[in-house]
């Protein structure tokens, strides 16, 4: 018995050391990818604080992680919709939200096409709040607390940089949405690439709510990086997609506004191994650059340990 316990301890130590070495090797790959990408994009300069990346290698028995500014809180644009979808599935699983055809239509349009109108409907459904005219101060306080259920849910799971309080807007916000932004800052949502990668890993491994619901989320994130598209900013070809080579598969959720461009991607390699790459870029001078995110991914994929 003593020998068995000793052997187990040695085995765990060797296993842990091996995974630590894998993460260290992956970190070197990512550091090099960021350095080379920054060297490539100099006009305008891609500054050190204008990019954040997290990479998770899922090919081993436990994930290997690496990040560059992975804990930085950044406005996520439409990437926040992944968190709204995950919470919707949590509430449906718990029997607190009716699984209706209209909700499924909203979830699909929110993730597949990234429609803000669909997202507004989903946020109303999962939080029990609605947009509308301004509210008296006491009612606004209650409204704010109710809108915060998504943020509190992920905080309870140990996520440290998820603020999912605001609806994405094209031309808004107005009324109580604008009123609440001013009365209860921060005014914008934020995520980190680390927290976004964690959610994507849990979805990929079937641990987000349940295996069945994780699979349903993944199905909506399926992209075709090799299709011909008239839209250079489509989620298929406008973000991580161009970094993939034949035989690879892509599931992703992108975010894009006039001052930021992001992508959260799960990539399956030809041999079936999977890698998560979450890349956020910040700055108006880079928001329309369709090459930075793919440049990071291409370098990481080409040099995986």
pLDDT digits 0-9 by tens, 184-206? 999 999 999 999 999 999 999 99
Q: Give the residues across from 113 on adjacent strands.
A: none
Residues 199, 68, single domain; the answer is yes
What is the CATH classification number for the domain harbouring 213? 3.40.710
Residues 57, 107, single domain; the answer is no
CB atoms within 10 A of CB 119: 23
Q: Map tokens 């130590």 to a residue.
A: 13
- Let me know if residue 205 belongs to a domain: yes
pLDDT value for 10: 41
Q: Map tokens 């990234």 to a residue.
A: 114
Residues 47, 63, single domain; the answer is yes
Residues 237, 259, single domain; the answer is yes
Residues 59, 127, single domain; the answer is no
Burial class (CB in 10 A: 0-12, 13-18, 19+), 132: exposed
Q: Residues with Cβ < 8 Å from 126, sequence gap 6 or more?
A: 84, 87, 88, 91, 97, 149, 150
Quote the domain boundaries for residue 38.
15-74+192-305
> Residue 188: what are its φ and ψ, rounded to 5°?
-125, 155
> Rounded to whole angstroms, how far apart are CA atoms 41 and 90?
41
- Let me know if residue 301 belongs to a domain: yes
Residues 120, 227, single domain; the answer is no
Report the greatest alpha carbon distance in the chain: 71
Residues 276, 288, single domain; the answer is yes
Chain-centre distance of CA 142, in angstroms?
29
Domains: count for the chain: 2
pTM of the full structure? 0.93
Both tokens assigned to 115: 């429609």
Q: Which of 240, 144, 155, 215 is nearest to 185 (CA)?
A: 144
pLDDT value for 210: 98
Residues 197, 258, single domain; the answer is yes
Residues 66, 81, single domain; the answer is no
CA distances from 245 to 58, 223, 273, 279 (A): 19, 14, 14, 19
Q: Where are the alpha helices (DSSP H) in the chain?
A: 2-40, 81-93, 101-112, 116-127, 137-147, 149-156, 176-183, 193-204, 211-221, 292-302
Q: Where are the alpha helices (DSSP H) in 184-271?
A: 193-204, 211-221
> Rounded to whole angstroms, how far apart are CA atoms 135 and 92?
29
- Let me know if residue 203 belongs to a domain: yes
Helix (H) or strand (E) holding 228: none
CA distances from 187 to 99, 143, 239, 252 (A): 31, 15, 26, 26
- Which residues in the chain show pLDDT less than 50? 1-3, 6-15
pLDDT value for 193: 98
- Let me know if residue 54 belongs to a domain: yes
pLDDT value for 5: 53
Helix (H) or strand (E) holding 274: strand 274-282
Pseudo-torsion of CA 8, 12, 14, 19, nearest 10°?
A: 160
């Amino acid at each position: 018995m003593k020998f068995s316990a000793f052997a187990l301890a040695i085995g765990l130590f060797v296993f842990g050391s091996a995974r630590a070495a894998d993460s260290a090797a992956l970190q070197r790959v990512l550091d090099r990818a960021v350095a080379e990408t920054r060297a490539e994009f100099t006009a305008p300069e891609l500054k050190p604080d204008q990019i954040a990346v997290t990479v998770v290698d899922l090919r081993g028995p436990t994930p290997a992680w690496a990040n560059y500014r992975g804990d930085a809180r950044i406005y996520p644009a439409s990437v926040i919709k992944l968190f709204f979808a995950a919470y919707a599935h949590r509430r449906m699983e718990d029997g607190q939200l009716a699984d209706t055809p209209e909700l499924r239509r909203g979830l699909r349009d929110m993730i597949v096409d990234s429609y803000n109108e669909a997202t507004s409907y989903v946020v109303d459904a999962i939080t029990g709040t609605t947009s509308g005219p301004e509210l008296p101060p006491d009612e606004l306080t209650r409204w704010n607390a109710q809108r915060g259920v998504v943020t509190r849910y992920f905080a309870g799971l140990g996520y440290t940089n998820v603020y999912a309080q605001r609806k994405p807007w094209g031309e808004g916000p107005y009324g109580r949405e604008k009123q609440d932004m001013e009365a209860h800052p921060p005014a914008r949502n934020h995520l980190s690439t680390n927290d976004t990668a964690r959610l994507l890993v849990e979805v990929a491994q079937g641990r987000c709510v349940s295996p069945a619901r994780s699979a349903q989320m993944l199905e909506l994130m399926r992209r075709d990086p090799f299709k011909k598209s008239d839209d250079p900013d489509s989620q298929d070809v406008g973000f991580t997609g161009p970094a993939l080579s034949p035989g690879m598969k892509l599931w992703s959720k992108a975010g894009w506004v006039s001052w930021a461009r992001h992508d959260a991607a799960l990539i399956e390699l030809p041999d079936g191994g999977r890698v998560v790459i979450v890349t956020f870029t910040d700055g108006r001078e880079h928001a329309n650059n369709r090459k930075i995110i793919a440049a990071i991914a291409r370098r990481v994929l080409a040099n995986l340990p």
